Chain A
Amino acid sequence: MSVQPHFNGSAVPHDWAGRYYHIDQILNAPGPRTDPAFLAGDEVKDFLRNQVKILVIGAGGLGCEILANLALTGFKDIHVIDMDTIDISNLNRQFLFRQKDVGKSKATIAAEFIMKRVPGVKVTPYHGKIQDKDDDYYMQFNIIICGLDSVEARRWINATLVNLVDPENPESLKPLIDGGFKGQARVILPTITSCYECSLDMLNKPTAFPICTIANTPRLPEHCIEWASVLEWPRIHGDKKLDTDDPEHITWLYKAAAARAHEFNIEGVNWSLTQGVVKNIIPAIASTNAIIAASCCNEAFKIATSSAAYLNNYFMLIGTDGVYSYTFEHEKRDDCPVCGGEALDLSISSNTTVEQLIEMLVEKQDIQIKKPSLSTPTKQIYLQAPPQLEEATRPNLSKKILELVPAGGEITVTASTLPFSLSLRINYT
């Protein structure tokens, strides 16, 4: 044995000779499709291994794979957020977890596993919600990879990163790589390329059945299950919230649905289908996760090192009939509520009142806003309608803007004449 490293918990462990034999073939020389700005050799290796800080959101099906790939690729400062605990149904694909881990924090167990398996990699877990963290937290990372199944969470992180972009600070632009376990991987450069919100209409909407069908003319086992969860649960249990992770709740729903199905001569209600319908379960296997996670990490590697061109900007894989994939550029939307619309820097006198600002906006030739409504992220300033809100916000008209918005603060303007909204950054002269 030539070089045997010793770790003893030291912060920067020594790599063993030959460790990066494979990766270094890429980092030692450019290829034909490598950006000329790529600096082959020690500098890029040092950046990748000692400077980059990367955040992984989600330690589930995609997250486990992402963490393992990043660690092997040479990212050494990895953070991971997940609010979930481990369930037995995770074990068929979330390969950092074992039977004994059921019930524990996904982020914590995943981080421990990676650090044990791949020496010298530091993984910092956070067991909680992404919404718990503020802009300063997200600001510390160079790249963010998302392996989430929640539309809401992805919209949140996407909007957060778009909002983080400060034109005067290049460091504020954080590439977001988003993996979807239905088989998509994409690269989002906030404010530069299309963002998650731009493509929201590509999502399949969740199946919902007409409520009158559920109530009166059930035909499918799913109708009986929806009846149990949408109508019968609240009727019997009042305000008690349905917890779809609680097997007892699912069993209750199953029994209610089965009784109803029996009454209507409908076949096919069982426990598993009940769980599938109420949790909106999408089938998932290790292999699809592996492909998407690998593709996300590969983009992170190429972006961090410039060693090869990166995905522009959407990759979709459909694996039921042969291997079919589609790579395309998803277009940015001008009327995207998050990255579209305009942002204006506005310098006004500290004496300007809300009413005066509204007049300014209406008179401004280049934007031509009619009846603008104004708010800050925390409160309404002036709303044109409905009457009650107009009345409630009317006293603000005579107030100085300065009383409502701090210097550098933002005002969101909506109006029927705007495609979506206009964002004003206020400064005082």
Chain B
Amino acid sequence: MADSKDIESATTAIILDGIVPDSRTRRYDRQLRLWAASGQSALEHSRILVLSSSATSSSILKNLVLPGIGHFTILDKSIVTPEDAGNNFFLEGPDSIGKSRAEETVHFLAELNEGVDGRADTRELRELLNDPKGAAEWLGTYTIVIAHNLDNGLLEKLSTLLWEDESLPPLVVVHSAGFLAEFAIQFHEHTIIESHLESSPSLRIDKAFPALRDYALSLDFQNMDPTDHSHIPYVVILVRVLEEWRNTHNGLPPQTYPEKQAFKAKISSMKRKFDEENVEEAESQAYRCWTTSAVPSEISALLSDPRLSQPALSLPPFFRLLKALKKFTERHDILPLTSTLPDMKANTEEYVKLQRMYKNRAAEEKAEIREILVEDGGAEGVDDVLIDQFVKNAHRLKILNGRKWGTLEKEKDGERIINALESSPKQAATHFGLSALQRVLSKRGNTNQSQRQGQLQPPKITIEELTAEAQALLPSGASLPETEWNEVAGELVRAPTADLPNSAAFLGGLVAQEVIKMITKQYVPVDGICVIDLIETWTGVI
């Protein structure tokens, strides 16, 4: 959820005339509240390539066109069949039969949002991939590539091509059959500043900065009028009581359980009446006095990245900032202060005063980060807005290390597979079932082409065939969990090529959501293979 600050920057930036937002801002109002103007701008500059215009592909695109991506291309040379016309909302029923599938779906998808540019490409992927250099150049013009139920051989080729050059876009691989589905995102590394994770930054009560400490010590609690007393912010109470405690405890905060209880009692004894709310808040927040404001372990791990020893200018902006952050934490053993102060019982004057202290201090520490950046020679191309975002989110930065599609099956020791089969048999069985199905279908090839229009029959696949294919994917010594496998395999042979409207819509939402996270670099995308079962209705991640 966006906090009020984000909404503010989202909207003030776009308001054109007067105070009422323009129609574009009003159109996107509900999503701007999630990813702000920065996220919207990233979306609007994105170019999406989708391979095929199946019902699932169209559903994914629908949920990207609506929020306003910049451009999409559908690569599909096929002609709309009667079967397509029955399950794709972005075709016009029988009127679309016989027309180019890419052109028809682009037409109906583009209608959803005039601000989005859509293009149909009726070339064939197989031929394009025969020229790897040309293909790489073409693929490089996109932000992300999405492939639904792509032929297994082509998928291998495409994923390898995209993996080998780190500058090429991430690939989203989606497989579905009937009620079962899975998808995963292939990427090398994904850095996130605005993760929106719920961890809250330290208020530095244990390491009060001078202005805060001086202020807390300057107040005369004893002789204060009762109304003023009941409006001292808990932050100030805690800083003060901790200081007094340290004076009588060799400079240490409360450490043992009895000490912590005694500390709380000390706070409680300040109460002028039994239900003084601010003192109660201080008591419940007392843990902040003995939780040391240090660099959280997740952030320390990021700071130990060997790349940070390289010259700043050779690094991308995120890592330059990370390098500066490292130096800052080495100096202060703490993350830079954020200016956001939670709401607390206080009168306006006290709260605003306190807020200003935090703001000023945060600005000073941000300035220090900027100075380090300049000293390191890494300030070029890093604007103040970015530094601001980075410092504000320093406690919840995130780096995801991705994998190539299909590597799970190719691991030599297969330990992760064996673990997955044991710890989450349902999810693992579904994954191997869908992988096996793709392989079986790819081996059969496109035998359906010769069928008469509207007389297409789903391929007959046996459980034995599927089981053999799945077993071939397992490392030696691993076996499929029997009950779960029978449920998965039975369902897959029942509907091997069914792109059900509801499954397509479900995947359409789920995949689009992850793609938006990748493009905006906000929120945390799924790390692993996401498996979906729409019979019992669950999702899981391997």
Residues of A within 8 A of B (CB): 1-5, 16-23, 25-26, 29-33, 65, 68-69, 71-73, 88-89, 91-93, 95, 98-99, 117-119, 185, 216-222, 247, 251, 254, 264-266, 268, 270-273, 275-276, 281, 283-295, 297-299, 301-302, 308-309, 311-312, 315, 317, 319-325, 327
Look across to chain B and name the residue whose beta carbon is closest to the beta carbon of A98: B111
Tell me whether A290 and B505 are in contact in the complex, defined as CB-CB below 8 angstroms, given that A5-B94, A251-B19 are known contacts: yes
Q: Is B81 an interface residue (CB 8 A)?
A: yes
Known contacts A73-B501, A271-B19: A19-B4 contact under CB 8 Å: no
Cβ of B178 and Cβ of A26 under 8 Å apart? yes
Chain B interfacial residues counted at CB < 8 A: 103
For the complex, give the distance between the alpha carbons of A271 and B539 in Å: 39
- 10 A-B pairs with the lowest CB-CB distances in the bound complex, closest first: A290-B509, A17-B454, A18-B82, A18-B454, A32-B490, A291-B509, A294-B505, A72-B501, A294-B506, A19-B86
Query: What are 21 A-to-B residue pairs whose CB atoms are below 8 Å?
Result: A1-B98, A3-B82, A16-B97, A21-B86, A31-B178, A31-B490, A31-B491, A185-B537, A272-B7, A276-B7, A281-B33, A287-B513, A290-B508, A290-B509, A291-B506, A294-B505, A295-B502, A298-B506, A308-B179, A320-B197, A320-B523
The listed residue (B21, B34, B348, B494) touching A264 by CB distance below 8 A is: B348
Contact indicator A118/B509 (Cβ below 8 Å): no
A92 with B31: in contact, given A217-B231, A268-B5, A321-B524 (CB under 8 Å)? Answer: yes
Q: Complex Cα distance A294/B499, Å?
A: 13
Closest to A319 in B: B513
- CB-defined interface of B487-507 with A at 8 Å, one 1/0 digit per residue? 100110011111111111110
Chain A positions within 8 Å of B343 at CB level: 219-220
- Are A16 and B85 within 8 A (Cβ)? yes
- Report how far A129 CA is from B1 CA in the complex, Å: 31
Please provide the chain B residues from 515 to 536 with a CB less than 8 Å away from any CB of chain A in the complex: 516, 523-527, 530, 534-536
Output the least CB separation between B149 and chain A (Å): 12
Knowing A271-B21, A288-B509, say if A16 contacts B454 (CB, 8 Å): yes
Q: How far is the CA of A335 from the CA of B240 in the complex (A)?
A: 49
A133 to B342, CA, bound (A): 46
B66 touching A323, Cβ below 8 Å: no
The residue among A31, A118, A221, A266 with the most chain B CB atoms within 10 A of its own CB is: A31
Sample of 4 more A-B contacts, CB < 8 Å, known A291-B510, A298-B179: A19-B83, A270-B12, A283-B34, A290-B509
Residue of B nearest to A94 (CB): B66
Q: Across the interface, do B499 and A22 meet the contact criterion of CB distance under 8 Å?
A: yes
Contact status B86-A219, CB under 8 Å: no
- Residue of B with least CB distance to A264: B348
The answer, among B11, B30, B538, B539, for a CB contact under 8 Å with A89, is B30
Q: Is the CB of A32 within 8 A of B487?
A: yes
Could you tell me the distance in whole angstroms from the C-beta of A288 to the nearest C-beta in chain B?
7
| A286, B515: Cα distance in complex, Å | 13
Q: Which residues of the partner chain B approach A294 to less than 8 Å between Cβ atoms?
A: 502-506, 508-509
**Which residue of chain B lies nearest to A321 when distances are taken between CB atoms in the complex?**
B524
In the assembled complex, which residues on chain B have CB atoms less than 8 Å from the CB atom of A216?
A: 347
Task: Give 1 or 0 for each of B364-379: 1 = CB within 8 Å of chain A CB.
Answer: 0000000000000000
Q: In the complex, which of the residues A117, A293, A319 contacts B92, with contact meaning CB atoms closer than 8 Å?
A: A117
Give the CA-CA distance A281 to B33 in the complex, in Å: 9
Inter-chain contacts of A273 with B (CB < 8 A): 4, 7-8, 11
Pairwise interchain contact B85-A323, C-beta atoms closer than 8 A: no
Knowing A291-B506, A294-B505 touch, does A1 contact B27 (C-beta < 8 A)?
Answer: no
The distance from the CB of B144 to the nearest CB of chain A, in whole angstroms, is 15
When C-beta atoms are compared, the residue in chain B nearest to A296 turns out to be: B502
Asked whether, in the complex, the Cβ of B19 is within 8 Å of the Cβ of A119, the reply is: no
A301 proximity list for chain B (CB < 8 A): 502
Enumerate chain A residues within 8 angstroms of B196, measured Cβ to Cβ.
320
A270 in contact with B539 (CB, 8 Å): no
The answer to the question of B217 belonging to the interface, with a C-beta cut-off of 8 Å to chain A, is: no
Across-interface contacts of A297 in B (CB, < 8 A): 501-502, 505
B351 at the interface (CB under 8 A from A): yes
Interface assignment of B175: CB less than 8 Å from any CB of chain A: no
Assess the B453–A17 pair: CB atoms within 8 A. Answer: yes
Which A residues lie within 8 Å of B4 (CB)?
Answer: 220-222, 268, 273
| Residues of B22-79 whose CB lies within 8 A of A | 23, 25-34, 55, 59, 62-63, 66-68
Which chain B residues in 166-218 approach chain A with CB under 8 Å? 178-179, 195-197
Residues of A within 8 A of B526 (CB): 322-323
Contact of A276 among B33, B92, B487, B495 (CB under 8 A): B33
A18 and B456 form a contact (CB under 8 A)? yes
Check if B112 sits within 8 Å of A31, measured CB to CB: no
Return the chain A residue nearest B463 by Cβ: A32
A322 engages B525 (CB within 8 Å): yes
- Is the C-beta of B472 less than 8 angstroms from some C-beta in chain A? no
Residue of B whose beta carbon sits closest to that of A116: B92
Contact in complex: B458, A315 (CB < 8 Å): no
Take A31-B491, A93-B30, A95-B66 as given contacts and tell me if A286 and B348 are in contact as well, using a CB distance cutoff of 8 Å: no
Q: Give B497's nearest chain A residue, CB to CB.
A: A25
Q: For residue A182, give the distance in angstroms from its CB to the closest CB of chain B.
A: 11
Q: A73-B502, A298-B502 are in contact. Are A271 and B63 (CB under 8 A)?
A: no
Bound-state CA distance A32–B178 (Å) is 13
- Evaluate contact between B491 and A32: CB separation under 8 angstroms: yes
Is B223's CB within 8 Å of the partner chain A? no
Set A29, A91, A312, A323: member contacting B510, Cβ < 8 A: A323
Contact A89 B455 (CB under 8 A): no
Which chain A residues border B351 with CB–CB below 8 Å?
Answer: 217, 219
Tell me the bound Cα distance from A243 to B391 in angstroms: 40
B178 touching A281 by the CB < 8 A rule?
A: no
B219 at the interface (CB under 8 A from A): no
Query: Cβ of A218: which chain B residues have Cβ within 8 Å of it?
Result: 348
From the candidates B112, B523, B530, name the one contacting A321 in the complex (CB within 8 A). B523
A217 to B228, CA, bound (A): 12
Given contacts A19-B82, A185-B537, A281-B33, contact A251 B8 (CB under 8 A): no
The reply to whether B535 and A33 form a contact with Cβ atoms under 8 Å apart is: yes
Min distance, Cβ B491 to any Cβ of chain A, angstroms: 5
Contacts of A117 in B (CB 8 A): 89, 92-93
For A221, the closest partner residue in chain B by CB is: B4
B541 interfacial by beta-carbon distance below 8 Å:
yes
Rounded to whole Å, the gap between the CB of A158 and the closest CB of chain B is: 20
Q: Which of B316-352 contact A (CB under 8 A)?
A: 343-344, 346-348, 351-352
Which residues of B are found within 8 Å of A266, using beta-carbon distances? 348, 352
Nearest-Cβ distance from residue A28 to partner chain B, whole angstroms? 8
| Bound form: Cα–Cα A268–B10 in Å | 12
The smallest beta-carbon distance between A260 and chain B, in angstroms, is 10
